[in-house]
Amino acid sequence: MRAKTKLNPKQNKKPIGIFDSGFGGLTVMSAIYKKFPNENLIYFGDTAHVPYGSKSKDTVIKFSKDIAAFLLKNDVKLIVVACNTASAFALPALQKSVSVPVIGVIEPGAESAAASTKTNKIGIIGTEGTINSRSYAKAIKKISKAYVFEQACPLFVPLVEEGWTDNKITSETADVYMAPLIAKKIDTLVLGCTHYPLLKTVLRKTAGDKITLIDSADAITMKVGTLLAKNGFANDSKKKGSVSFYVSDNPEKFKKIGAKFFSGKINKVKKIDLE
Amino acid sequence: MRAKTKLNPKQNKKPIGIFDSGFGGLTVMSAIYKKFPNENLIYFGDTAHVPYGSKSKDTVIKFSKDIAAFLLKNDVKLIVVACNTASAFALPALQKSVSVPVIGVIEPGAESAAASTKTNKIGIIGTEGTINSRSYAKAIKKISKAYVFEQACPLFVPLVEEGWTDNKITSETADVYMAPLIAKKIDTLVLGCTHYPLLKTVLRKTAGDKITLIDSADAITMKVGTLLAKNGFANDSKKKGSVSFYVSDNPEKFKKIGAKFFSGKINKVKKIDLE
Q: How far apart are CA B111 and CA B90, in angstroms?
A: 19
Nearest chain B residue to A173 by CA: give it.
B169
d(CA B194, CA B175): 20
User: Quick check: helix, strand or coil at residue A124?
Assistant: strand
Q: Count CA atoms within 13 Å of residue B206 on its CB side.
A: 26
List the B188-191 sheet strands across, edge first. B147-152, B121-126, B188-191, B212-215
Q: What is the mean pLDDT of residues A189-213?
A: 95
3-state helix, strand, coil in chain A (%, to 5): 50, 15, 35
Give yes or no for a contact between B86 and B25, defined as CB atoms under 8 angstroms apart.
Answer: no
Q: How far is B202 from B35, CA to CA, in rounded Å? A: 26
Q: At what angle do helices B26-35 and B251-261 cross, to 10 degrees?
A: 60
Higher local confidence (pLDDT), A54 or A249: A249
**CB-defined contacts A:B, below 8 A:** 57
Query: In 3D, which of B274, B268, B264, B242 has the Cα closest to residue B255?
Result: B268
Packed helices A251-261 and A26-35: angle between N→C axes, nearest 10 degrees: 60
Residues of A in contact with B253 (CB under 8 A): 54
Q: How far is A248 from chain B (nearest CA, A)?
A: 9
CB-nearest partner of A250 from B47, B48, B55? B55
pTM of this structure? 0.87
Tens digits of per-residue pLDDT, B79-118?
A: 999 999 999 999 999 999 999 999 999 999 999 999 999 9
Average pLDDT over residues B169-186: 98
Q: Give me the percent of chain B exceeding a pLDDT of 90.
A: 81
Which H or E element spans position A73? helix A57-73
- Rounded CA gap, B254 and B188, in Å? 32
> Stretch A177-194: mean pLDDT, rounded?
97
Average pLDDT, chain A: 92
Whole-angstrom Cα distance, residue A164 to residue A146?
33
CA distance A243 to A44: 11
Check if the beta carbon of residue A258 is closer than 8 Å to that of residue A50: no
In the Cβ-directed half-sphere of A26, how many Cα atoms lie within 13 Å?
26
| Helix, strand, or coil (residue A112) | helix
Contact B155 A162 (CB under 8 A): yes
- For A273, which residue in chain B has the nearest alpha carbon? B59
CA-wise closest residue to A82 among A188, A271, A215: A215
Whether A3 has a pLDDT exceeding 50, the answer reads no
Provide the percentage of residues in chain A whose pLDDT is more than 70.
96
For residue A57, the chain B residue with the least C-alpha distance is B250
Mean pLDDT on A122-137:
93
Residues B39/B261, Cβ–Cβ less than 8 Å: no
pLDDT above 80: residue B6: no
State percent of chain A over pLDDT 90. Answer: 81
B48: chain A residues, CB-CB within 8 Å: 49, 55, 59
| Residue A161 CA: distances (Å) to CA of A156, A158, A206 | 9, 5, 20
A contact set with B (CB within 8 A): 47-50, 54-56, 59, 154-155, 157-159, 161-162, 164, 168-169, 172-173, 176, 249-250, 253, 275
Amino acid at B213: L
For position A253, what pLDDT does the model report? 87
Instruction: Check residue A15 and report its DSSP letter.
Output: P
The alpha-carbon gap from A159 to the nearest alpha carbon of chain B, in Å, equals: 7
What band does A59 get if pLDDT is binned at 50, 70 and 90?
A: very high
Whether the pLDDT of residue B207 is over 60: the answer is yes
Assess whether pLDDT exceeds 90 at residue A264. Answer: no
- Kindly list the residues from chain B whose CB atom is less than 8 angstroms away from the CB atom of residue A162: 154-155
Sheet holding A78-81, edge to edge: A102-104, A78-81, A16-20, A41-45, A243-247, A269-271
Task: Determine the pLDDT at residue B10.
Answer: 63
Q: Residue A123 forms beta bridges with which residues?
A: A149, A189
Is B153 labeled as catalytic in the residue annotation? no
What is the side-by-side order of every strand in the sheet holding A188-191?
A147-152, A121-126, A188-191, A212-215
The whole-angstrom separation of Cα A44 and Cα A210 is 36
pLDDT of B53: 80
Catalytic amino acids of A? 83, 193
Out of A49, A169, A253, closest to residue B173 by CB: A169
Average pLDDT, chain B: 92
**Mind telling me how many Å the CA of A184 is from chain B's nearest CA?**
23
Q: Which residue in B has a C-alpha nearest to residue A169's C-alpha?
A: B169
